[in-house]
């Protein structure tokens, strides 16, 4: 690396590492490691290994993660655009592995942009349960929302909030919370020279103040008996072991789950050996710190007592309902799924669509603008998928999301994406959204076509070109016409929409996503 490391930082590292210091310094002469993580919402690990155009070597602490080796350009392959893997620094894959996420959990990722760990959590949830993913900085939530869309996440809500306000809205609600804290980034100096330039002697103390507040908010949003994983990509004691010690002494219901000192994880420093460190001179990855904090299960709601408990009970009921609907939906017959839709016809702002709009979708829908729009959507989705996505419909203007939580649960919160974006109303018709496509498996769509990477068709599609596709290449479910919205897949993995008619596939891949 070219940037000069700050003298005071090096002195502190010498003190921290003692005899290992020279080995640590040598790592700055080596290149950082590249990695990808299989997106198991779309592809299995074995299938990715079989198809990968570049060599893959397993990452010891992440069963879905691989080193890609020098020369690999994973961002320049159609599989990246089909959301089959996330490009991620290897050490950054460790914290979610320690969070213990199970399908059906309610998980909060408090400091989430651009979404590496959120997409990893979503893959572990496998579409069941709830992921609330948040970042304080509005600009950064755009990349977060886009990544949830690219990786086919159906049950994610993106917020742009302070952790305190999230805790106030969801007291004692989440099973698992990840704090991938904003930090001084010392562990990334080899990979990101900007972090070196931004570092000043006071930087660790500045971040420690933020981390303290985020930890306190996480404790308030956690369900009794839940788990918090706290991680940083820095070496400074005050942001790591000292921060966790202070938290534990102020929160006696929490204890540290020992993970340091076993497997690939080095022990935490000083009095906290149970915390985990990844050191660049010991593993193939950048510097990371992790602590797993377990709540003992005792109820400890503070001042707002009853109101908070009531809000929590309502939310829990809603989340339970939706969790069981998601389970049902996976095995639902169309008839059963549409019964679910009728129940969930709520939320939304009204004012879209008209009686005429309903008629244009093939039936005379009647009722308020909101009801008509939902009816048009339902007709469209029933034809396209033969089943309805489980969840609460939430309209943002003309745009429809299917949310894992009812609209009221998000009232007053700055919500960037209340759920799975399924499409929008335009001139009385429903237009399917790109994220609807990316989250579908080919067999879920009435019409689909697979383009191969080898023939170059996949890249042509990703560039936005219209393609000539004979009808016999379409996979069409019995009883469906060949004309209409068609799920476009790359080697069998969903990538976007096309509109097929008379041998031509009109390209619906969004302009902002195209291959350049
Ligand atoms: C280490 S990065 C997160 C990386 C992310 N977890 C991933 O895996 O892609 C820390 C994030 O915290 C955000 N942040 C900073 N202060 C915050 C706060 N008080 N509350 C929530 N997020 C915050 C930053 O905008 C930044 O995106």
The b-or-e profile of 470-497 (16+ CB within 10 A means b, else e) is eeeebebeeeeeeebbbbbbbbebbbbb
DSSP 454: T
Q: How long a stretch of residues is the chain? A: 516
Three-class SS of residue 444? helix
Cβ(167)–Cβ(300) below 8 Å: no
Give the containing element (helix H, strand E) for 430: strand 429-432
Identify the bridge partners of residue 132 per DSSP, sorted by sequence position: 108, 157
Domains (range + CATH), the chain: 7-295 (3.40.50.150), 326-406+420-437 (no CATH), 441-513 (2.30.130.60)
**Is 182 near ligand 1, meaning CB less than 6 Å away?**
yes
pLDDT tens-place string over residues 7-44:
999 999 999 999 999 999 999 999 999 999 999 999 99
- Could you count the other beta carbons within 10 Å of the beta carbon of residue 162? 16
CA distance 258 to 394: 42
**Is 112 near ligand 1, meaning CB less than 6 Å away?**
yes
Q: So what's the pLDDT on residue 368? A: 74
Backbone φ and ψ for 373, nearest 5 degrees, come out as: -60, -40
**Is 148 near ligand 1, meaning CB less than 6 Å away?**
no
The answer to the question of whether 183 is labelled as a binding residue is no
Q: So what's the pLDDT on residue 378? A: 96
Q: So what's the pLDDT on residue 317? A: 64
Nearest protein Cα to ligand 1, atom 11: 111
Three-class SS of residue 226? strand
**Is 239 near ligand 1, meaning CB less than 6 Å away?**
no
End-to-end CA distance of the chain: 29
What is this structure's pTM? 0.90
ipTM value of the model?
1.00
Let me know if 233 is a catalytic residue. Answer: yes
Cβ burial of 198 (10 Å; 0-12, 13-18, 19+) is exposed
Nearest protein Cα to ligand 1, atom 15: 182
pLDDT tens-place string over residues 61-115:
999 999 998 889 999 999 999 999 999 999 999 999 999 999 999 999 999 999 9
**DSSP assignment of 77-88, as one string?**
SHHHHTTSEEE-
> Of the residues 151, 182, 187, 221, which should be mutated to test ligand 1's pocket, given the most ligand atoms within 8 Å of the CB?
182
pLDDT under 50 in the chain at which residues? 303-304, 323-365
């Amino acid at each position: 690396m070219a940037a000069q490391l700050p003298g005071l930082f090096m002195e502190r590292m010498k003190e921290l590492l003692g005899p290992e210091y020279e080995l640590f310094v040598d790592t700055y002469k080596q290149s950082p490691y590249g990695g990808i993580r299989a997106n198991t919402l779309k592809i299995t690990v074995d299938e990715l290994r079989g198809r990968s155009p570049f060599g893959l070597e397993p990452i010891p602490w992440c069963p879905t993660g691989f080193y890609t080796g020098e020369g690999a350009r994973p961002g320049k392959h159609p599989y990246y655009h089909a959301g089959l893997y996330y490009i991620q620094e290897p050490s950054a894959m460790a914290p979610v592995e320690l969070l213990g996420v199970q399908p059906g959990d309610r998980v909060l990722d408090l400091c989430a942009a651009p979404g590496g760990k959120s997409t990893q959590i979503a893959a572990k949830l496998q579409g069941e349960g709830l992921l609330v993913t948040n970042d304080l900085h509005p600009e950064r939530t755009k990349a977060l929302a886009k990544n949830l869309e690219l990786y086919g996440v159906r049950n994610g809500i993106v917020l742009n909030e302070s952790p305190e306000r999230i805790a106030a809205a969801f007291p004692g609600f989440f099973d698992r919370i990840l704090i991938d804290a904003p930090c001084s980034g010392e562990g990334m100096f080899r990979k990101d020279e900007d972090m070196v330039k931004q570092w000043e002697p006071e930087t660790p103390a500045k971040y420690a103040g933020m981390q303290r507040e985020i930890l306190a908010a996480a404790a308030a949003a956690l369900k009794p008996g839940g788990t918090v994983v706290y991680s940083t990509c820095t070496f400074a004691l005050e942001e790591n072991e000292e921060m966790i010690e202070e938290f534990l002494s102020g929160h006696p219901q929490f204890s540290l789950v020992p993970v340091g000192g076993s497997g690939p994880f080095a022990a935490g420093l000083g009095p906290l050996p149970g915390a985990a460190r990844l050191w660049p001179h010991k593993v193939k990855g950048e510097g990371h710190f992790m602590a797993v904090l377990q709540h003992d299960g005792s109820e400890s709601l503070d001042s707002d007592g009853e109101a908070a408990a009531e809000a929590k009970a309502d939310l829990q009921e809603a989340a339970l309902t939706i969790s069981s609907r998601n389970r049902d939906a996976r095995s639902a017959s169309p008839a059963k799924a549409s019964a679910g839709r009728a129940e969930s016809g709520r939320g939304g702002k009204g004012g879209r669509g008209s009686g005429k709009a309903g008629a244009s979708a093939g039936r005379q829908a009647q009722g308020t603008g909101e009801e008509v729009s939902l009816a048009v959507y339902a007709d469209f989705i029933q034809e396209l998928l033969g089943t309805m996505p489980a969840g609460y419909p939430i309209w943002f203007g003309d745009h429809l999301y299917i949310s894992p939580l009812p609209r009221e649960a998000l009232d007053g919160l700055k919500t960037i994406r209340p759920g799975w974006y399924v499409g929008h109303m335009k001139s009385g018709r429903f237009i399917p959204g790109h994220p609807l496509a990316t989250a579908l498996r080919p067999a879920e769509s009435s019409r689909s076509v697979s383009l191969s990477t080898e023939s170059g068709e996949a890249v042509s599609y990703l560039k936005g070109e219209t393609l000539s596709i004979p009808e016999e290449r379409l996979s069409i479910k019995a009883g469906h016409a060949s004309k209409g919205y068609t799920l476009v897949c790359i080697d069998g993995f969903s990538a976007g929409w096309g509109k097929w008619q008379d041998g031509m596939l009109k390209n619906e891949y969004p302009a902002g996503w195209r291959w350049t």
